[in-house]
Amino acid sequence: MKKIVVIGGGTMGNGIAHVCAMSGYSVKLVDANEQALDRAMILIEKNLDRMLAKEKITQAQKLETLERLHPALSISQSVLEADLIIEAVPEILSLKESVLREADSVAPENAILASNTSSISITKLASMTSRSDRFIGMHFFNPVPVMKLVEVVRGLDTSQRTVDAIMKTAEFLGKTPVEVQDSPGFVSNRVLMPMINEAIFCLQEGVGNAEQVDEVMKLGMAHPMGPLRLADFIGLDVCLNILNVLYEGFKDPKYRPSPLLVKMVDAGKLGDKTGQGFYLHGK
Ligand code: CAA
């Protein structure tokens, strides 16, 4: 692996591009929206400055990282020489399908296509391409430069060679890869989302207010953020979407989303990104 293309300049995409470039890869960060691309590059520089201020990287490392990062608007022109393409566009199946089909149609034969999806079946996404053996889930966690895990998701047809290459690449990025099978929510969100959902039920039923629910989990279970604060951080729409994937995937009522979560999303209170969620944020 030498050349990586990251598609999608949102929170996950810019974080993934950041760590790939910092680890020495030549990275193209692609987003069709020029303003989103500009914002992504500004955010990467800001996060590098944060690491510089904490003396985690040097000024030279910051500059080298930025030199290895190339923003681009077109998928087909960017993937022509790629070794690895990581798709990190929003969790909308039709959007992922069009992005993956475009990348697959022009990428080199040997290139691996990975998706950062947090909820869509890797096997289903792989079937939209002509390379289901070279298709894999590479699930990063927010904030990407900080979180150590990459959940490596093996689809039905993913080859051992692809798994080995991605496990090695994730390690090279300074992450700890954990291989799991393709299943709704994989392991991470199958375990995390019911906890967040239950915390929202506690709030809804008045068992505790948001601060009380979060304090219990922070101080009693050593979670860095309480589940309600984490839901705001992830995005309430994202949480609802993943719970619906679990609910529909397993046909099990234990995954039913809390009515309060549905109501919050209906009201457009999506957490940090809208400034309002279970907490008020500075927007
Ligand atoms: N880039 C680089 N560094 C960053 C960063 C970023 N974007 N964001 C935070 N940091 C660094 C800070 O510089 C700081 O570094 P030091 O330890 O050297 O001081 C460190 O991370 C901690 O940050 P802060 O001091 O600002 O704040 P904090 O101590 O409250 O930590 C947090 C913030 C890292 C987000 C922490 O609260 C945390 O780990 N929360 C849980 C996050 C989590 O669970 N993420 C997974 C969400 S689920 C997901 O992403 C996938 C999905 O499918 C839904």
Whole-number average pLDDT of the chain: 97
| Residue where a domain stops, chosen among 181, 198, 222 | 181
* Residue 55 annotated in active site: no
Do 154 and 206 have their domain in common?
no
The amino acid at residue 34 is E
Whose Cα sits closest to atom 27 in ligand 1?
A: 224
Residue 16 sits in a domain whose CATH number is: 3.40.50.720
Q: Is the pLDDT of residue 88 over 80?
A: yes
How far apart are alpha carbons 92 and 260 in whole angstroms?
23
Ligand 1 neighbourhood includes 135 CB (under 6 angstroms):
no
Could you tell me which residues are beta bridge partners of residue 179?
152
198 backbone dihedrals φ, ψ, rounded to 5°: -65, -35
Report pLDDT digits (tens) over 212-269.
999 999 999 999 999 999 999 999 999 999 999 999 999 999 999 999 999 999 999 9
Q: What is the DSSP string of 81-134?
A: T-SEEEE---S-HHHHHHHHHHHHHHS-TT-EEEE--SSS-HHHHHTTSS-GGG
Do 173 and 79 have their domain in common?
yes
Question: Is 273 among the domain residues?
Answer: no
Conformation bin of residue 235: beta by default, left when phi > 0, alpha when psi is -120 to 50: left
Question: Is 64 among the domain residues?
Answer: yes
The single-letter DSSP state of residue 30 is E
Do 42 and 176 have their domain in common?
yes
Ligand 1 neighbourhood includes 51 CB (under 6 angstroms):
yes
CB 169 within 8 A of CB 200: no
Torsion of CA 184, 188, 194, 196, to 10 degrees: -140
Q: Which of 20, 138, 146 to mutate for ligand 1's pocket (most ligand atoms within 8 Å of CB)?
A: 146
How far apart are alpha carbons 238 and 241 in whole angstroms?
5
The amino acid at residue 35 is Q
Report pLDDT digits (tens) over 180-205.
999 999 999 999 999 999 999 999 99
Query: What pLDDT does residue 283 have?
Result: 63
CB 186 within 8 A of CB 149: no
| Residue where a domain stops, chosen among 181, 214, 238 | 181
Mean local confidence (pLDDT), 114-124:
97
Do 102 and 144 have their domain in common?
yes
Residue 206 sits in a domain whose CATH number is: 1.10.1040.50
Question: Is 135 among the domain residues?
Answer: yes
* Per-residue pLDDT band at 1 (split at 50, 70, 90): confident
Rounded to the nearest whole angstrom, what is the distance from the C-alpha of residue 158 to the centroid of ligand 1? 31
Query: Pairing mode, if any, of strands 135-139 and 149-154?
Result: antiparallel
Question: Is 282 among the domain residues?
Answer: no
Do 60 and 199 have their domain in common?
no
Do 38 and 166 have their domain in common?
yes
212 backbone dihedrals φ, ψ, rounded to 5°: -65, -45
Task: Determine the structural domain holding residue 173 and report its residue range.
Answer: 3-181
Question: Is 283 among the domain residues?
Answer: no
Do 117 and 236 have their domain in common?
no
Ligand 1 neighbourhood includes 101 CB (under 6 angstroms):
no
How far apart are alpha carbons 99 and 103 in whole angstroms?
6
Number of domains in the chain: 2
Do 39 and 151 have their domain in common?
yes
Residue carrying the six token digits 């960060």: 29
Do 241 and 131 have their domain in common?
no
Ligand 1 neighbourhood includes 117 CB (under 6 angstroms):
no
Residue carrying the six token digits 């093996």: 154
Do 22 and 93 have their domain in common?
yes
pTM beyond cutoff 0.75? yes
